Structure 1
């Protein structure tokens, strides 16, 4: 697809290459994967690992006074087992180019695990646990690697791209709007320099 609010495969690749130069400079971890010689067969990729604290008691609603005493004991005695557990999360972000829409498309997955593919986050969990602000989130088969991913639907991306005709890197302009508003992904300010 070609026209206002779209980018060509060549523009996507050029914008991605400039994006990667900045990523490498600031050690942000993005890379280009796939076959860039075939339209739509390459994508930007980044994997991160984080830990979130949670109460180790993981109590159900049947909390007792004894449970409260145990919790206080954990806080008072530094030699006792820690009362919080660090839960590992692996997150992958993929930015693809849609041949049908002529726009970038954001795919991501998050696993409650030390390893990708184990205990994936559902659409419901992504919208509630991650406090996503984007209702057009669905599960879709990743068009390049063929596994289920969460996808931000590209239907509004054309309007978004059309509203930034002066941008020198439409991929960054689009990502800065979509990522922070939809999935709470913060974009390093260094990327913005590519847009002017």
Structure 2
């Protein structure tokens, strides 16, 4: 098994340790299982009803040839030339909207990539699902800048492998490379830090899923 990957057995051990600590700390993670055609039970983790405060801004430019605006107004003014070459005032209106979005996170093991995968859904207060573009608008600006060139490949919309419903997914194609860079080299997978915690701490904040510090104890002891 490559350093940056995790076996299914390691994933299951990590899930057990993670959920035990979550139960003790009342952090809200739950265990779910999927039964395949051969009646094998596969565990995965679920966290529901996570509220995130979202603020979005929209800017609208409105030509105004009749009104001279005071610098104390809440709009931005500049002079532009119209088709006749006459200078005219231009107003830029900035409107902000604020609301809470409700997220649900699932962590599933991918046998194809040998890594965990983060699936999630997000909806507005009226129950309407967020579009992919709205999900990107809710991502912190720091991560938007870093991931701009991977915008349409880092987060994709996929069918949930167990539920058969559309979910957003943090695509697992780069997970092994990421984990290869952060995990100690040459360490047996049965003895290394909790892969799940290390991985989730790295990718979760992109979509509003930050781990409390108490999970770090799982990286400082043998399981």
Q: Structure 2 length as normaliser, TM-score?
A: 0.65
Larger of the two Rg values belongs to structure: 2
In terms of fraction of residues, the more strand-rich structure is: 2
Aligned length: 166
Partner of 1:184: 208
Which residue, 90, 93, 99 being the options, matches 2:105?
93
* Preserved CA contact (<8 Å) 1:49 1:88: no
Alignment of 1:69-148 (within 5 A): 87-113=99-125, 118-131=127-140, 133=144, 134=147, 135=151, 136-148=154-166
Q: How much is the aligned-residue C-alpha RMSD, in angstroms?
A: 2.8
Unaligned residue ranges in structure 2 (runs of 5+): 63-96
Gaps of 5+ in 1: 55-59, 63-84
Larger mean Cα displacement after TM superposition, 137-146 or 159-168: 159-168
Give the TM-score normalised by structure 1: 0.73
Q: After superposition, give the CA deviation of every residue in 1:29-67 in whole Å (9 maximum; x if it has no partner).
A: 00110137737x43110012437488xxxxx999xxxxx
- The aligned counterpart of 2:20 is 21
Change (3 A) 1:93 1:53: closer
Distance, in Å, in 2 between the alignment partners of 1:144 and 1:127 is 25
Please name the residue that 2:46 is paired with: 45
Query: How has the CA–CA distance of structure 1 residues 34 and 177 changed in structure 2, closer, same or farther, with 3 Å as cutoff?
Result: same
CA–CA distance in 1 between the matches of 2:123 and 2:178? Answer: 30
Distance 1:53-1:13 versus aligned 2 partners, 3 A rule: closer
